Structures are given as structure tokens and as C-alpha cells.
Structure 1
Amino acid sequence: MAAVLIMVCLAAVAWLVGLTQPQGGQGVATAPASLVTCAPPPPAPTSHPTFTSPPPPSVAADSAWTAVLHTTCGDLTLLLDGGRAPRSVASFVTLARAGYWTDSVCHRLTTRPAPTAFLQCGDPTGRSTADPGYDLPLENVPAGVTYRVGDVGVARGDGFPSTSGEFFIVHRDFTVSPGAPVYSLVGRVTSGLDIVQHIARIGGEDFRSDGPPFQSISILTVEVRRR
């Protein structure tokens, strides 16, 4: 009887450990879901800044940048690579400084069986209809078009170079299928990935594999600084 009880306890521990692992088993350290708490989302903004042209690449100044996303579920810190993606990072820095993402909801989560695996943010309307007024060219596409846990990319749709204002954070490695859109990489998450993994673990609204996350998360403000 004692041996049976020990086996049951070990199985329960293994199950609990499995719940705290990222999808895809990538071995990225994450905090238990109980340590991530989210506040109610703020009202959506009624307007957002727009521009007549994209910022020049010189804004990124061939430099690395730190971006801190203050969200309703905690802070995420990103390391942006202005050397490899100067146009995309210049755009990110410009939009952050302009308050483009203030109080904006992260409106899209993709999970299995969707071909991608990311949390998408950056649209002030929350409906993927906002536009800062310019497009961006592709740059810094990863070898093998494989995107890794913690990567930060610029979102885009079929037929568009980029959505400019929207970006995503990868929660499970995925490789883009032949003929599907590929994405510019702007950097990586250096802290706060547990928040994204928490959102991904809970899943999509109405069990959707591509739609709003069940656990709402909004960006309150974004701070950027050159390293």
C-alpha cells in the first residue's frame, strides 16, 4: 500500500510540474501560474498617434535598446537589436515614445493547432485595424524561418510588408510553412516571459487556437532607452 501511495504522489508531482512548462517543451524557465496576477484592463483609447512616413533608421542608431512593457499582468523587458533590424527598431522606439501603445490590449493569441505560437499586441483599437501611417520592409528574418521562445517580431498580414504598429512575442518555437508570411525580428524578451507563458497556458477565448486570449492583458505604457 505504501508503494502505491508513493507512486500516486510522484505522478501528481509530475503532473503539476508539467503544468508550469512552456508549450512545446522548450525548457524556458517560467514562474508558476499562481505567481502571475492580472488587473482589469483599462478602457480602450479613443485615438492614437499617426505619422506621414516611417522614422529614419538612424533613430535606432545601430544600437541595442531596452524596452519595458508595463502591462496589466506585470512588466516585460525586451532587448531590441537596432543593428540587425534598424528600421523596425526605429519604428518601435518612435511609437513607444509617442505613446502609441498606451492602454492597448494584446488582442491575439495563437496556439496549437495554429501554425504559429505567439501573443500579439500593439493595436490601439484591439481589432487589428489601427495603422500608424506607414509600412516597414522585412529585415532580420531568422535562418530557416524558425522563431524561438522569447523572440519579438513585427506582425504582418498576407500582402503587406508589415503592420508596423503590431508586434508579437513567441511562447513556443515554430517554423513558418512554405508560402506563409515571414516576420522581421526586432529582439528578445529578457524578463517577464512567465507572463506570456501564463497567458498561453490559459489559452484562447472560447477555446480558439487563433483569437483573443482568455486572460485579458493590456499594455499600459512602454519605456525605451538606448543601452
Structure 2
Amino acid sequence: MRAAVVLLVAIAVAALVWLAVTFTARGPQPVAAPTTGCASPPPPRTSIPRFSAPGPSAAAAAVGTWGATLHTTCGDVGLELDGTDAPRTVASFVQLARGGYWTDSACNRLTSYLSPTAFLQCGDPTDRRAGDPGYGLAAENVPPGGRYARGTVIMGRGGGLDTTSGEFAIVYRDFTVRPGDPVYPVFGRVLTGMEVVDAIAARGGEDTRPDGRPFRSISIRSIDVARR
């Protein structure tokens, strides 16, 4: 009996020693990040369309909801656009999508985990943060308290009260805007393909920057829109 107890103790000690050695050698293993296959980014645009005003009319866009599919180099992302609460923004989005404004354009801004915000921003066909479709939009449908939920689609912001009209972003993690910081109009939500955005966000920004280009490049090839 005593020999059996001694043997069990020896086995237990040996197991603990093995675990300690293994953990010290390998260390804690990181959680696997979401993965998605991405094609090579398209070449830079040589010409960009411009528009005199957003269209279709805000009244037409306000009837029901719209569906949009972002065809990206990393997979499709399906959106639902809220024409009721953000009619002017949705009207503008429909026009720019149908007019090819975002064809072969990079998503060149990611606010990473070091930033107080959390979104992937797209919509600048110049790839130099200098895109301009030819008009601006007043901010509409800004959430109370500056709270943004994962999967929300928002408009980019310029320095003034008007949005940039051409740039939009997808929120990949809940966040609340700090007092005094810019707020963003909401005009839709992601229905499918959120894993595409998650994979980009998981890789973070270049040089671990909290606000800059995403480490894994992603570009919009085209956008389809249709009334639901």
C-alpha cells in the first residue's frame, strides 16, 4: 500500500515538472485571430468622378431601406442602409456607389485597440485622404451620447459640421465618443460579412499605430445597391 502511494506521488510530481517545463519553453499561446483570404489590392485610380449634388432625392431614399454589398479584396460585406433616419446620407451613398466613385479604392484608415474609437474607414479613391465627390453633407442621425455599436455603419467627418460625404466606416467594437471629440452620423448596419472587418481589425494598424493604415490591406472593388 505504501509503495502504491509513493508511486502515485512520484507520478504527480513528474507531471507537474513536465507542465512547468513545457509552459516555460513555449509560454502562453496567443488566441488565434480571425483569418480571411485577401486578393492583391488594385492599382491606384487615374481618374475620379465628381458630382454636383447628392441623389436620388432624400425623399426618394427615405422610402424604406436599401441594401448594399461591398465587394472587397477580402470578401463581401452586406449592409442595410437606413433611408428613414438618414435619407440624405443614403441618397448620397446610392449615387456614389452607382456612379463608381468607390471602384478600386482602398480602406486606408483603421482605429485600433489603442484608440478610443474602433472602426475601419473606407471611401477615399485617391488613397491620400484627399477624396472629394464634389459636395458635402450635413450630419444627420447622430446617436445620443455618442455611443456606437459593433456593426454600425457611419459617415466620416471633416473638420467642420459637415461630413466628408465620400468616406464611411464600419464599427467593429462598441465605443463611446469622448466629450468634445467628433461624433459620426449613422446610416446603416452590417448584415453579413462582419468577419471580413474583424480579420482586418485583428491585425491592427501599420507600425502598431492607433489610427492609420490597416496592416492587412483591403480595397473595395465595387458596391451594388438596391432598394429593399
1:50 aligns with 50
1:225 aligns with 226
1:183 aligns with 184
Deviations 1:108-159 (A, max 9, x none): 0001322211000000001110101111111111122111111000000222
2:3 aligns with none
2:5 aligns with none
Compute the displacement of 1:101 (Å): 0.3
1:219 maps to amino acid:
I
User: How far apart, CA to CA, are the structure 2 residues paired with 1:180 and 1:171?
Assistant: 19
- TM-score w.r.t. length of structure 1: 0.86
2:62 touches 2:86 (CA, 8 Å); kept in 1? no
1:207 aligns with 208
Cα RMSD of the aligned pairs, angstroms, is 2.0
Show the 5 A alignment for 1:43-82: 43-55=43-55, 56-82=57-83
Q: Tell me, yes or no, if structure 1 residue 120 matches structure 2 residue 121.
A: yes
Compute the displacement of 1:193 (Å): 0.6
Compute the displacement of 1:3 (Å): 7.5
Compute the displacement of 1:61 (Å): 3.7
Superposed structure 1 runs of 4+ greater than 4 Å apart: 1-9
Show the 5 A alignment for 1:158-177: 158-177=159-178
User: How far apart, CA to CA, are the structure 2 residues paired with 1:58 and 1:45?
Assistant: 33
User: How far apart, CA to CA, are the structure 2 residues paired with 1:127 and 1:4?
Assistant: 56
Show the 5 A alignment for 1:76-91: 76-91=77-92
SS of match in other structure, 2:81 = strand
1:93 aligns with 94
1:104 touches 1:218 (CA, 8 Å); kept in 2? yes
Alignment size in residue pairs: 210
1:27 aligns with none
210-219 vs 137-146, greater mean Cα deviation = 137-146
User: How far apart, CA to CA, are the structure 1 residues paired with 2:149 and 2:168?
Assistant: 15
2:7 aligns with none
Deviations 1:177-205 (A, max 9, x none): 11111111011011111111100110101
**Identical counterparts, % of pairs:** 56
Deviations 1:87-112 (A, max 9, x none): 00001011000011000000100013
Q: Tell me, yes or no, if structure 1 residue 144 matches structure 2 residue 151.
A: no
Q: Which runs of 5+ in 2 are unaligned?
A: 1-13
Question: Structure 2 vs 1, CA of residues 48 and 157 (structure 1 numbering), >3 Å: closer, same or farther?
Answer: same
User: How far apart, CA to CA, are the structure 2 residues paired with 1:4 and 1:42?
Assistant: 54
1:26 aligns with none
User: How far apart, CA to CA, are the structure 2 residues paired with 1:116 and 1:94?
Assistant: 28
User: How far apart, CA to CA, are the structure 1 residues paired with 2:181 and 2:88?
Assistant: 22
Q: Which runs of 5+ in 1 are unaligned?
A: 21-31
Q: Tell me, yes or no, if structure 1 residue 135 matches structure 2 residue 127.
A: no
1:157 touches 1:181 (CA, 8 Å); kept in 2? no
